[in-house]
Structure 1
Amino acid sequence: MGKLQGKTAIITGASSGIGAGIAKELAKEGANVVLAARRTEELDELRNAIKEHGNGEVLTVQTDVTNRQDIERLVKQAQEVFNHVDIYVNNAAQMLTAPVRSGKVEEWEQMIDTNIKGVLYGIHSVLPSMLERSSGHIINIASVSAFEVTKGSTVYSATKAAVQTISKGLEKELAKTGVRVTNISPGMVDTPSSKNNSWNTERKKLETKDIARAVVYAVTQPNYVNVNEITVRPV
């Protein structure tokens, strides 16, 4: 029996990359996983893969995290099927190269809407039921780009710094409520969105399972332990 048997986790941005990796690892530990993303074909493929190797049940819900109603519907469906949500992973993100001087306002808005508003919508939708049960865990996936800003990452880095700040403030707001908050900041991970990024080829990129294991570590701690911050970097 896995460490998360009987638990239910929602993972946004689950159709590929880090989100898919997290979903697989949580399922291996016995959790019921709710896969949320815009691309339904990829969600269906992941659902089938998890059913072969996971121990929990799988639900897919087409979701655009920039749409508040979509997020509310996602949480409602998860609760209807599994009764409650124990873990909510805010993973969906947009990583676009749009320096301020480029004037690419639409791309800035995409990152702000997905990386900041999407995180807040998720928290807003799932938190009341967690507080009512005095139990739950919110995982926010930030980035080391919040610490290290490049000339091409100004807006993206700003959004991930916002995620870190939201995590820090929320952890203080939820102290002694039974609801835990963990911020995870990955370095460069080998995902479809990182294929075109410049990278020192002498260093191996992280694998998605490296971030997934960090999530499992945080959510399997005793109830009195809150792992606030995890930074995962390549060697």
Structure 2
Amino acid sequence: MNKYTNTKDKQSMKGKTVVITGASGGAGRAIAVEFARAGAKLVLAGRRSMALEEVVEECNETGAESAVAITTDVTDAAAVLLLAKTAFEIYGRIDVWVNNAGILAAGSFTDTPIEILDQVIKTNLMGYLHGAHAVLPYFIGQQRGILINNISIGGWFPVPYATGYSASKFGLRGFSEALRGELTKWPEIYVCDAFPAFLDTPGIRHAANFTGRYLKPAPPVYDPRKLAVAIVKLAHNPKPSVTIGSIATFLRLSHFLFPALSRNITAKVIESYLKVADHVPLTNGNVFRPLKYGSGVYGGWSRFSPPSRRKTATVLLFTSAAALFLLKMTRR
């Protein structure tokens, strides 16, 4: 029997220790608060010390058994090892580790400086490997543990003009698959991947931007708490992967069935948007150092995006879906 199908239906998070990277804002903060509601012991990691302390306070007020902050840059393997060691020393065990820290760089491949692409890979891919490498010895010592990788639909669906991001997310999917193969001898150690659709977080406001145009997520954007609920459910009932949001399911299926067509439509939609978007200065964003703003859960996209643009993007998305469906019918 597959070990992912042989789990208890429900179990409390009370008494369980959960480590979350990238917890100082956005999806990471939402995940931390959701685990706090479940009564977990929390170790929250990120680059922004003051923002982490705010999240610790919120989690303690929300119902966490205990919560501590440890300033950590996931690109530093030694710092991540220290994070795991400190978490274990504080609570005596680590039950769940959530790899979540991530960054974005937008721009054509040749216009994006190579040092920016390097740092995207170091954060989004190597940061997750650092987390897994640090926590697995504790899981193996305990003979149990759950590693959850928040990957995004970008792990299935390529994003033109964000090639470093796509490379990191596709790489994470391969990493998880390979690691599951190695861990079959430990039936109570799980590797779970989450693939959310576009989320209403501050993340894109923090992005490195070499397009020279104002960036915004493609609608529809989802409440980050939808992802947070799904992550906590994975901690209750581990599964190899879960897709969050109907649009994520559609994008995953469309690329599986028609990779070239879906990829090319996406490129055209992005190019069309960049032609009309407002001009902005080029920026490294938060790639090399954290930014002071945007430590909340939400980015404001669902409230402040102009309705006309939301409608246009949604029409484009579902027109693409219809085109894929009709093409499939004509090929039968």
Match of 2:120 among 111, 121, 124: 111
Q: Distance in 2 between matches of 1:161 and 1:118?
A: 14
Residues 204 and 217 in structure 2, CA contact (< 8 A), matched pair in contact too:
no
State percent identity of aligned pairs. 32
Considering fraction of residues, name the structure with more helix.
2
Matched, 1:228 2:240: yes
Matched, 1:215 2:223: no
SS at match of 1:210: helix
Give the letter for the 1:219 counterpart.
A
What CA deviation, in whole Å up to 9, does each residue of 1:14-65 have, x standing for no partner?
Answer: 0000111111111111110100001001001111111111232001000000
Question: Where does the alignment leave 5 or more consecutive residues of structure 2 unmatched?
Answer: 1-10, 206-213, 248-332
Question: Where does the alignment leave 5 or more consecutive residues of structure 1 unmatched?
Answer: none
What CA deviation, in whole Å up to 9, does each residue of 1:139-186 have, x standing for no partner?
Answer: 011121222223212111110011111111111211140210101111
**1:56-71 matches, cutoff 5 A:** 56-71=65-80
Residues 98 and 104 in structure 1, CA contact (< 8 A), matched pair in contact too:
no
Q: Distance in 1 between matches of 2:109 and 2:15?
A: 46
Match of 2:20 among 11, 14, 26: 11
SS at match of 2:110: helix
Give the letter for the 2:240 counterpart.
N
Shift of 1:103: 4.2
Shift of 1:198: 3.4
Shift of 1:233: 2.5
Matched, 1:193 2:203: yes
Q: Distance in 2 between matches of 1:79 and 1:185?
A: 28
Matched, 1:86 2:95: yes
Q: Distance in 1 between matches of 2:159 and 2:41?
A: 38
Q: Distance in 1 between matches of 2:95 and 2:84?
A: 11
Shift of 1:117: 1.0
Question: What's the C-alpha RMSD, in Å, of the aligned pairs?
Answer: 1.5
Larger radius of gyration: 2
SS at match of 2:44: strand
Give the letter for the 2:191 counterpart.
V
4+ residue runs of structure 1 moved beyond 2 angstroms? 194-201
**So what's the TM-score if we normalise by structure 1?**
0.92
Shift of 1:8: 0.2
1:182 aligns with 192
Q: Distance in 2 between matches of 1:233 and 1:68?
A: 32
Shift of 1:234: 5.1
